[in-house]
Structure 1
């Protein structure tokens, strides 16, 4: 396949977000030549696919790109704050300026094929490359999830997915039904409340977390306690870790926790169980509102208990907190609602995404289509993943763990190239 018309590169990286460019940086340090293909522009998901009021949920000190920490090399002055969308892209752009990645923006990778004798063919919208190693850094947010029954909703009710949401003015006057209570759903809920809009919220099984607790941000306590050093191999419940939705809380206004019961009491947010079906103006919900609220609170209290135990073990002097109490309980489980009668003019889907790996012709997936790897390294020589949740630790797929993950993967790539006797240095 490789001839004078097909360029060859030791390493091809698919995806120009923080994960792919962090690997490129570590390969650059080792003198290993690589090319990065990005179908949009670098950091597109941060630059474009975030709403106007978006900010980090984790504190700025957790932004630790390779050799470019927020409060060190970047010179950030608010480590305990939460960067806004444009501040995040400023940080990312400053990182990229520290080296010169061979980055091809607005280039789609359409096919990756494993060659019988080793190596890969990478087909793109601007031509074909061959390479010895491939890194998939596209993340897991390719296809927005909307259930099939969404097509049965009356067409006069506007539907939008969170990936397209920027601010409440995009949607027509009237109430909004937000489906999903992960980090996106609850933060978009606040956007609409602040805009004076009526909000109906289909509450899913997402857990929640304290924000400030016993004098510090909860993530500070968990970091000191070693929680973020737990690997997926040593996790007491790896299935739960891999499948559980992220805990919801907010970095807005300096950081706050989100108690949906309190939002119902204080702001009139109408709460329902999980959305189950749509037909015309009829919305149907599962009778699981109480269970989902209780489960979220159980997670919240569990994190507080974990922090309490760490403080007690280490004899730390920290202020006491009152015990958690529920401010509201649902009187009944509402299983059906007429959207028109309730004044609902729009539905906003915030129930996540699915990855798209259909363009990869390499035997690295299980029966469910999920990639199989050990810290990103698959059993197929030269094929790797980066930037996925729990690649190794909780911080994988987030700013906190990308330095460690990308450094490790670059080392494995260098070892594999050396073992195969490939020329990797530019």
Structure 2
């Protein structure tokens, strides 16, 4: 490892490695630094029955697309890992693994100094361009009152959950109704565990509608390609949790109301707790109604798209609730209900404290335009909504990586070279 490298990409996931793919083809000397191993999160932070929620044809990386037998299906965790390793066999990124960047400091003369902690100890490397590819929200969130709950209750974050067998016998409380929370609740429910689910404001979407996957319709409608500044709903829409749905067993809706008819117990937002007593806001009815309204609204958008283009498709329909709570529950006695485990699925938060540069807003999020910041030489890749709704997903990574790489190549070459890659 040299003491100076023109470009350092920090993070060896699919986003950082996509930038590396383009830099390599442009002949730009660079280094990719990964704290663990390449694309390790797919194998290490997904539960055993995990599947993609986007169709396989969405899976596109530089020089590599899904070409398997089921483009409209949903790869399992292990299939995604195999697919990604197949991509890594198509090129040789200058990757250093098991090495963490603990500090990035801007020096005079428009250079950065990186402090690296690896197998051989601490060392420093300087670079002209730093591309941050560590993910948008690396720190799992657990509420402050979690430590005051009964220590006999086993607590894990969603990224630590793999299967029902790892949990003690008894009922399980899942907190959070985003994609991970609802799918983990389903996983436990299908395994025969008594599940309690505290839901928030996450919307939902139909898996299939009028003969096609909803996400295929939305892609055709341009929703994944619309720039953030033009997206309907603006910042408020971008801050919402992604719609919950599943690709399990070929794909289907996640209908929490149906789960309730089968014995799952639903609650509103968890607000507080101590020992074995938990308290919830009376928001369950409104949350279910709101999720269903979004579901039907998306179906309506698809209907208008079909009508506008004169597409032949099965008849339109709308979701009708199969269950409604008689009253919104506000309390749960963990001991009385036999709850022995809690799975926190309430998301992640950003953590860029190791970067010493004025590139962040008051909430600690990068201030960037398509990954490029106002700090010369500092850029980001792999952020949710970095450019479009597709950013951060397989569908949008290639486009985002190419844009960032083009900027880096022009900067390193003082504008004398442009990225030219055969598509």
TM-score category, normalised to shorter length: over 0.9
- Tell me the distance in 1 between the aligned counterparts of 2:284 and 2:190: 24
Number of the residue aligned with 2:91: 99
Number of the residue aligned with 2:331: 336
Number of the residue aligned with 1:149: 145
1:123 to 2:115 alignment:
yes
Shift of residue 220, structure 1, vs aligned partner:
1.0
Number of the residue aligned with 1:171: 167
Number of the residue aligned with 2:392: 397
RMSD: 1.4
Match of 1:223 among 215, 219, 224: 219
1:245 to 2:241 alignment:
yes
| Cα pair 1:50 1:166 within 8 Å, conserved | yes
- The two structures have a TM-score, normalised by structure 1, of 0.95
SS of the aligned residue for 1:186 comes to helix
- Tell me the distance in 1 between the aligned counterparts of 2:381 and 2:290: 31
Shift of residue 333, structure 1, vs aligned partner:
1.1
SS of the aligned residue for 1:125 comes to strand
Residue deviations 1:360-412 (CA, integer Å, cap 9, x gap):
01111112211101000001111000001011011100100001000111111
- Tell me the distance in 1 between the aligned counterparts of 2:380 and 2:114: 15
* Within-5 A mapping of 1:346-357: 346-357=341-352
| Cα pair 1:6 1:128 within 8 Å, conserved | no
* Within-5 A mapping of 1:322-333: 322-333=317-328
1:109 to 2:101 alignment:
yes
Number of the residue aligned with 1:375: 370
- Tell me the distance in 2 between the aligned counterparts of 1:276 and 1:408: 42
Residue deviations 1:329-356 (CA, integer Å, cap 9, x gap):
1110111121111111111101111121
| Cα pair 2:350 2:364 within 8 Å, conserved | no
| Cα pair 1:381 1:416 within 8 Å, conserved | no
Shift of residue 9, structure 1, vs aligned partner:
0.8
Number of the residue aligned with 2:28: 32
- The two structures have a TM-score, normalised by structure 2, of 0.96
- Tell me the distance in 2 between the aligned counterparts of 1:400 and 1:421: 31
Number of residue equivalences = 414
Number of the residue aligned with 1:293: 288
| Cα pair 2:22 2:402 within 8 Å, conserved | yes
Unaligned regions of 5+ residues in structure 2, if any? none
1:46 to 2:38 alignment:
no
Number of the residue aligned with 1:202: 198
Residue deviations 1:229-267 (CA, integer Å, cap 9, x gap):
1110211322123311010000000001111111111x2
| Cα pair 1:63 1:400 within 8 Å, conserved | yes
Match of 1:213 among 209, 215, 231: 209
1:87 to 2:83 alignment:
no
- Tell me the distance in 1 between the aligned counterparts of 2:183 and 2:354: 33
Residue deviations 1:111-153 (CA, integer Å, cap 9, x gap):
1111122011111014211111000000024211000011111
| Cα pair 1:241 1:390 within 8 Å, conserved | no
- Tell me the distance in 2 between the aligned counterparts of 1:409 and 1:387: 11
Q: Which moves more between the two structures, 405-414 or 226-235?
A: 226-235
| Cα pair 2:133 2:380 within 8 Å, conserved | yes
- Tell me the distance in 1 between the aligned counterparts of 2:193 and 2:180: 17
Residue deviations 1:295-352 (CA, integer Å, cap 9, x gap):
1111101110110000000011100143321111111011112111111111110111
Q: Which moves more between the two structures, 314-323 or 369-378?
A: 314-323
- Tell me the distance in 1 between the aligned counterparts of 2:183 and 2:55: 16
Shift of residue 6, structure 1, vs aligned partner:
6.0
Unaligned regions of 5+ residues in structure 1, if any? none
- Tell me the distance in 1 between the aligned counterparts of 2:309 and 2:19: 37
| Cα pair 2:351 2:364 within 8 Å, conserved | no
Q: Which moves more between the two structures, 127-136 or 318-327?
A: 318-327
SS of the aligned residue for 2:228 comes to coil
| Cα pair 1:82 1:254 within 8 Å, conserved | yes
Q: Which moves more between the two structures, 89-98 or 13-22?
A: 89-98
1:311 to 2:303 alignment:
no
Q: Which moves more between the two structures, 307-316 or 136-145?
A: 136-145
